[in-house]
Amino acid sequence: MTDKPELDGHSGVFTTGHEWDGIRELNTPLPKWWLYINYISIIWAIIYCIFMPSWPGLPGMGYFKGLRHHSERANVAVALDKLQAARAANAQSLTSVSLDQVENDPDLLTFAMAAGRSAFGDNCATCHGSNGIGSIGFPALNDDVWLWGGNLDEIKQTITYGIRSGHDEAHFSQMPAFGRDELLSVSEISDLTELVLAMGGSDHDQSAATRATVNFDEQCSICHAEDGTGDRYQGAPNLIDSEWLYGGSRRAITETITNSRFGIMPTWEQRLQPWTIDSLAVYVHSLGGGE
Amino acid sequence: MTQKKTNKTTIIGGTKPGKGAKAHASHGIEAVDAQAVNSTESRELYASRVQIHPKLAHGLYRKIKWLLLFATLAVYYVLPWIRWDHGANAPDQAVLADFAGRRFYFFWIELWPQEVYYITGLLILGAFSLFLATALFGRVWCGYTCPQTIWTDLFIVVERWVEGDRNARIKLAKQPMRGQRLVKTVIKHVIWLLISFVTGAAFILYFHDAPTITPAFFLGKAPGSAYLFAGILTFTTYSLAGLMREQVCTYLCPWPRIQAALTDEDTLEVTYRGYRGEPRGPHKKKDSWEGRGDCIDCNLCVAVCPMGIDIRDGDQLECINCALCIDACDGVMKKIGRPVGLIAYDTEKNRQRHECGEKPKLNIIRARTIAYGSLITLIGALMVVGLSTRSMLDLNVLRDRSPTYVRLSDGAIRNGYLVKVINKGTKTRQFEISFSGLSDYSIKVIGQKITGKTVLISARADEVRNVKMYVTLPKSQISVSGSSIPISIDVSEQLADGKIGETQSNKSVFMTGMK
Ligand code: SF4
Ligand code: SF4
């Protein structure tokens, strides 16, 4: 065993000088380019630590902010302000004209549709589905059925104040829970269900439906109208079309009559800017069912 | 083994034993002390790179190369400054890849992103042209027009201007790095960096409006990508043309490998006519040329070679066919009164023919040149026809898929379509959209009141006009049709005189919701 580095004849490189079970190793230096990159990285790291936020938990000052005072959060705020400023002109003209005028101005319409689409995705699609396809209990917005009216101003009104949201201006109506509150007996409700099924054109028990006509006239027609076509003023659904917000099965209708429904849509007045609500109204109106 | 160490300071053609620096080659010609960097005798497995100091050549090919160098650099720097009217709302730069505006402009041609296949066609055309040129003339691309060659040549001009020609540079390289050598080295690298920066900065002009981006760039107001790419190009120009040079061709570039498959025995290549040159050796004025070759072993061909190789060793991977050795040797031949062309463009077949005593001839029309030529003609013709008959009106119809259809309260079915009318022209134009394939339907357009069954819209120059349409089919129609009805959406341009201009039609379907 030798502890002196020897020169290796083949490679021209010295060995480490140590021997492991008869094996000696060349002490080949690191490639220079590799080493320099390592040094440059170290220098870079030091520079980085000086200029950028680096050390956490410093007594008295929290983290070290760096000479550049860089903050991603602040950058986002600036970027968002920039975005708002870029939208300001269009947003301004959007709120200064009527919604009908917006629809007739191609540029404003494009802006409102784009803004409306993204606002819809962020706020409305959770319940109303993407592109407003709706689901059980949450009205589809792309068909021609509107509980509270489907023209631009009515849509805007609904978005602004909501439905049963608690806001003074919100749409409000309440159907009695005929079963739960014992206004009608179980068999009367069962008969009424058959009548409602008949109105919607579904399979039904005709004699039961006939039995229910008196109750319908007394209890239901005030809101749903005598012919069952509903009343938008009270948000009372049309019972003779093929659309059912909570399902058109016997079971679903019985449940509705027994326990009533009380769907709530929040008011967006506080949460969205007026121009965003305008864009949303235009967007929802454009989904196909707008009146 | 320490030979490796001493090699580091070896200049190409480090003194060969037994050869003085001023060896005599023939009358008026002194042998140059030059040795090929890749010569088999001195080649080692782990040798470091040997710095090459090419001597300035004079002659026909050097002149052609000066011209091409000037022309290609001029095109590169001037092209983005040429103005061209592309119509309203469009930039007025003749050649521009406008990523922000998603257009590619080339003089009278304006391409939209969906027409990127023209650029593919251009690339294919370029590739086949290279194939053809290579099959005919070997590595002409490498020798004359490759940016690596052009910029290396330019950098060597600077080097020569600062440090002198080959001999002076070799002498300088042997001095310690201080005083004169230090000053010259610094000057050289500063000029190189300046050229590199101008190269990198010119690159971004192809992606931005040149007169706007130039001041913005220096005021620090250009987009970050501009600085990034200018920086990258500066770095690559400096390192590839200044520091790495011939190593790029020999080790990095894939093209030399591909070319090996593109040339054949009829390809014209820079060739040393060994049958004429050998046996080589110094020649005295009075001696006869009988029984010996024309090569006087002056090594000038090696000294001028930017790749540092010896063409007399035969075809080599390193040779970029720059023909500078032809210039060098022709100069020598003229001086010693022998016919030029000891080194010349020639084919392997001709060398064989010479051996068999046949006459040399050129065989330009061969299977591969015919194949490349016809492909170039075909693709070129396709591109020309495509570009000249290209429609200025385009149409894309996107049918609503979520949901595919909407059932209305009276049982009618409604489908939604986003009709994109693309006006590629330079003026605002009027278009009529109509449907065919349905009967008894009604339509509704967002943002427009319609009475009939057609829609009139106008699209500005260079605009994609999005028209959201709803088509409703009554219940009576639904029940008599299958699950989907094929329809077509037709757009026709309405000219001012009431005539129909360009038309486009897109097929789509109407989903009825029936099983
Ligand atoms: S051998 Fe001749 S043609 Fe080849 S690279 Fe050298 S100088 Fe150019
Ligand atoms: S080939 Fe020509 S240039 Fe090269 S050594 Fe011979 S004579 Fe000189």
Cβ contact, residue pair A12, B447, below 8 Å: no
Residue A111 sits in the same domain as residue A238: no
- Rounded CA Rg of chain A: 36
**What is the residue-averaged pLDDT of chain A?**
90
**Is the C-alpha dihedral spanning B127, B128, B134, B135 positive or negative?**
positive
- The residue nearest atom 8 of ligand 2, judged by CA position, is B298
The top-scoring range by mean pLDDT among A264-278, B88-102, B444-458 is: A264-278
Each residue of B485-496: pLDDT tens digit? 899 999 999 888
Residue A193 lies in a domain: yes
Q: Which tens digit of pLDDT belongs to each residue from A140-178?
A: 998 888 999 899 999 999 999 999 999 999 999 999 999
Residue A54 falls within a domain, yes or no? no
Q: How far apart are CA B219 and CA B214, in angstroms?
A: 9
Residue A84: inside a domain, yes or no? Answer: yes
Q: Nearest ligand, CA of residue B32?
A: 2
- Closest ligand 2 atom to residue B272 Cα is 1
Half-sphere exposure of B85 (CA within 13 A, CB side): 4
Same domain? For A269 and A253 the reply is no
Chain B contact present for A10, CB below 8 A: yes
Closest CA to B213 of B76, B91, B86: B91
- B298 CB under 6 A from ligand 2? yes
Whether the CB of B446 is below 8 Å from some CB of chain A: the reply is yes
Question: Average pLDDT of B395-408?
Answer: 88
Mean pLDDT of A67-85: 92
Rounded CA-CA distance B498/B274 in Å is 78
Q: Chains A, B: CB contacts under 8 A, how many?
A: 56
Contacts of A243 in chain B (CB under 8 A): 409
Residue A203 resides in a domain = yes
**Cβ contact, residue pair B1, A131, below 8 Å:** no
- Would the CB of B302 count as within 6 Å of ligand 1? no
The pLDDT assigned to A214 comes to 92
d(CA A285, CA B84): 44
Q: What percent of chain B has pLDDT over 90?
A: 42
Considering the domain architecture, whether residues A131 and A274 belong to the same structural domain is answered as yes
Provide the domain count of chain A.
2
Q: Which helix (H) or strand (E) holds B202?
A: helix B179-204
User: Is the Cβ of B4 closer than 8 Å to some Cβ of chain A?
Assistant: yes
**H or E segment to which residue A81 belongs:** helix A72-96
A155 in any annotated domain:
yes
In B7-66, the residues whose Cβ lies within 8 Å of chain A are 46
Distance B306 CA to ligand 1 centre (A): 7
**SS3 (DSSP) at A39:** helix
Which of A:268-287 have CB within 8 Å of B?
286
Report the alpha-carbon distance of residue A183 to residue A215 in Å, rounded: 11
B427-484 tens-digit pLDDT: 889 999 998 888 888 888 887 878 788 888 888 888 888 888 999 988 888 877 778 8
Residues A163, A271: one domain?
Answer: yes
**Contact in structure between B469 and B433 (CB atoms under 8 Å):** yes
Cβ contact A106–B447 (<8 Å)? yes
Whether B1 contacts chain A with CB within 8 A = yes
Do A141 and A279 fall into the same domain? yes
A79 and A165 inside one domain:
yes
In a domain, A58, yes or no: no
Q: Are A228 and A96 within one domain?
A: no
Q: Is the pTM of this model over 0.80?
A: no
Nearest-CA residue for atom 6 of ligand 1:
B305
Contact check, Cβ <8 Å, B446/A143 = no
Q: In this structure, are A117 and A161 located in the same domain?
A: yes
Query: Is the Cβ pair B1, A11 closer than 8 Å?
Result: yes
Of 2.90.10.10, 2.60.40.10, 3.20.20.70, 3.30.980.20, which CATH number belongs to B393-511?
2.60.40.10
Domain hosting residue A214, numbered range: 186-259
Return residue ranges of chain B for CATH 2.60.40.10: 393-511
Using the Cβ of B6 and the Cβ atoms of chain A, whether some distance falls under 8 Å is answered with no
Chain segment B365-382, per-residue pLDDT in tens: 888 899 999 999 999 999
Same domain? For A134 and A272 the reply is yes
Residues A200 and A158 in one domain: no
Are residues A255 and A114 part of one domain? Answer: no
Chain A residues closer than 8 Å to B239 by CB:
none
Looking at the domain assignment, is residue A141 inside a domain? yes
The residue-averaged pLDDT of B188-193 equals 95
CA of A118 to the centre of ligand 1 (A): 63
Domain of A98: which CATH number? 1.10.760.10
Mean pLDDT score of chain B, rounded to an integer? 86
Is it the case that residue B35 has pLDDT exceeding 90? no
The yes-or-no verdict on residue B19 having pLDDT over 80 is no
Q: Is the ipTM above a cut-off of 0.85?
A: no
Residues A165 and A279 in one domain: yes
Please indicate, yes or no, if residue A17 is contained in any of the structural domains.
Answer: no
Say if residue B11's pLDDT is above 80: no
